[in-house]
Each structure stands twice: as structure tokens, then as C-alpha cells.
Amino acid sequence: MKANRNYQEFVIKGLNQERFFNKLSKNIYVFDICRIEKNKVSFKVDLKDSRFAREEILSSNFGILEENKRGLFSIILDFKRYIGIFFAFLLCFFAYFVQFSFVWRVEVNGVNENFQKEIVNFVNENYKLTKNVDCKDIELNLRDSFENLSFASVAVIGQTLVVNAKEGIQPIEKTGEFEPIILPCDARITKIKLIQGTCVVSEGDTIKGGTIVVQPYIVDSYGNMKSVEARAEVTFETWLEQEEIHCDEQYISTRTGESYIKNELYFFGFKIYEHNGVNRFGEYECETQEKYFTKNNLLPFVFKKTTFFETKRVLIRKKYEDVREEKITLAKQKALQKVEESDKIIDERYFENQLNGNHFIKYQITVEREIVFR
């Protein structure tokens, strides 16, 4: 019997099966004939002959109980039957993931219903809503387009653009109380994005702290000056400095190891008891602890314990070369404490100087900082 990996199996029921198989085998190849019951038998034919075999079975008045296909060709033939469903599923799958890149709804919180509709219409008319929409630009345009809007925050959450807004009771544009934009520190302007007002400095200018960068007015086409709220985004470089001083010989205060404890008891802020109240040391340092005299007591008895440590002045001699790296590191750590969370450090340097036997180490950190004035 030849091997056949692509075949169709039939299970039929009827009489005169020998005559049927003799007739059928003259036209096609029939194999694996197996009698299951007296009138029930199974057999296999090549997949290409399955249609002819079915017609012969039906024409011989046999009943077909089961049909089973096996082999690669049968899978391909079945796939052709369901190819339309497969492509429809594939198309739906693709459309499902494509739609995730779009924003389908605008939600506004914090204002009345009519104001919500105005904001939704403004956003839909002026922006193509996708996942990558510029939320910061929407915030700025909302503030500029709606005078009675005092606050706006925009974010994309899922497939919804969420706008959190707040109405101002009396917008500053109507009160006429305007202030210029002033930088609080020495700086070099690297970028200015003017939103409203008149810019009086240029990119690249180096200015002192307290200098006005944007004036609260504009000049219209007729040359008339109109007061407005100054708004801008200012990016600038500023310098953070700290200094350390070293003397080769200096007196420092150090503890001698001698100490004593003074105990005091207070009631409603008045001292009612004291022990070891007389000062025993000429030079000293002290540490104080306070606690309630008893627990779960409604009366405010406060116990105060003060420990006095005797100190003396000691002459310390250290050469600058021996402590130079330590002093530079200490100056750097102090300068870093002035760096804000949003600052970008772009340069670090230090300067050394000597005057009257003292060594001065100045550590300077250059940072880029951005301030938004709205």
C-alpha cells in the first residue's frame, strides 16, 4: 500500500458493500477498508478523488455517517473556504490597534456646562487630536482665547483629552494691575518665548538680578500703548557659587570631656524646680531635651534636661596642600545644595586665591533654568 498523507476517510452504512468496493476501486484508489459492524464500514481515498467517491456512495444508496479530511492539502482547501473570515478578522485587528493613536473624546472639568461646550468646540476646531497632540500649546491657547479662564491643565489619558479648568472671578486683564517680568538672579538669556507683553531683552544678553525682561504693555498698529499681563517662557543660564576659606593656623573650639546636667521642671511655662542651675564652665556647648514629666497626665508638666559640655580653644596647624581637595569638595557640596530639581547642570569650575595668608576656594556651577510666567 502506498503512503498517502492527503486523504479523506468515509464511514458508510448499507448492503452489498463488496459490489460497491469492486466498482469503486476500478476508478480510484481505495485503501484502509475496515469493517466496523455488519453493515458499517470505513475506508479512505485520495483527497483528489473525494468528490467522485462521495457521488458513488450516494448513487449506490449508502448512507454517509462520517467524513474526515487529513493532510496539508486538506488544510489548504479548508483555509480557502474561510479566507474571507480570516481577512475580515485581520482587518478588524488592524483597525483596533490603529484607533489607539487617536483621541476620541474631550472631557472638561471645573467649569459650568456652557463653558465646557465652548472649550470642547475650540479644541475640536483647532487641533487634530492624536496621542502626540501638544498639550502645553492647548493650555496656552485656551488661556489666550478665553479671558475669564484663570487656570487650564491639559493631559491625554487613554483616548480622552482631559482639560481641568477654573474660571476667574475677575480676570487681571480687566483690573489693570500689571507687573513686569523680572529675573531674580544674574543670568544669561538663552531663549525667550514671548506670549504677551513687550520683550526688552534679547537672547544672548547677560543681565543682573532684578532686571526687567518683559514689560506689561503692547503697542498697537496706531502707536497706542495698551496695558496687558506680561507672559513669557524664559530659559536662561545662571551661576551658583559657594566659598570655603582655609587658614594654615586657626583656633577651633573642642570639648574637654567634662560635663554636667541641669534638670528643670516647668508647669504652664513657669519653672517650678531646678537642679544644678549654677554654670560651672567659662566656655561650653549645650544640648537640650524636653519631654512631658508623666504620660497620660492632663497637667502640662514639662521636664527639661540640659547637658553642658566644657570646651576650650585649640590652635590647629594644617597646610593648605594637605586639605585642598577636601575644601574643594566641601565648597562643591554647598553649591550643589542651591541647585533646584528642574535645573540642568551644564558646567562646573572652581577658583583659588590667596590673600593675607588665607586661602579662598570659590566653586561655581552653571545651570540652565526655565521659568514660565503666565
CATH assignment at residue 109: 3.10.20
CATH assignment at residue 57: 3.30.70.100
Least confident range from 168-172, 248-252, 257-261, 331-335: namely 168-172
The mean pLDDT of the chain is 83
- pLDDT of residue 173 exceeding 50, the answer is no
Q: Are 338 and 240 in contact (CB under 8 A)?
A: yes
Query: Is the pTM above the cut of 0.75?
Result: no
Which among 167, 195, 223 is the end of a domain? 167
96 in a domain, yes or no? no
Which is it for the CA torsion 241, 245, 251, 252, positive or negative?
positive
For residue range 211-264, list pLDDT tens digits in order.
Answer: 999 999 988 766 788 888 899 999 999 999 999 999 888 788 899 999 999 999
Both 301 and 323 in a single domain? no
**Hey, what's the cell of 281?**
564652665
**Hey, what's the cell of 163?**
482639560
- pLDDT of residue 103 exceeding 80, the answer is no
Tell me the backbone φ, ψ of residue 271, rounded to 5 degrees.
-75, 125
219 in a domain, yes or no? yes
Based on the structure, what is the number of domains in the chain? 5
pLDDT score, position 349:
94
Calculate ∠ Cα 223-227-229, nearest 5°. 135
91 in a domain, yes or no? no
124 in a domain, yes or no? yes
Both 206 and 265 in a single domain? no
Number of H helices, E strands in the chain: 8, 21
Q: How confident is the model at residue 139 (pLDDT cuts 50, 70, 90)?
A: confident
324 in a domain, yes or no? yes
88 in a domain, yes or no? no
Q: How confident is the model at residue 176 (pLDDT cuts 50, 70, 90)?
A: low
Q: How confident is the model at residue 1 (pLDDT cuts 50, 70, 90)?
A: very low
pLDDT score, position 170:
43
Range of the domain at 145: 101-167
- Residue the block writes with cell 482665547: 145
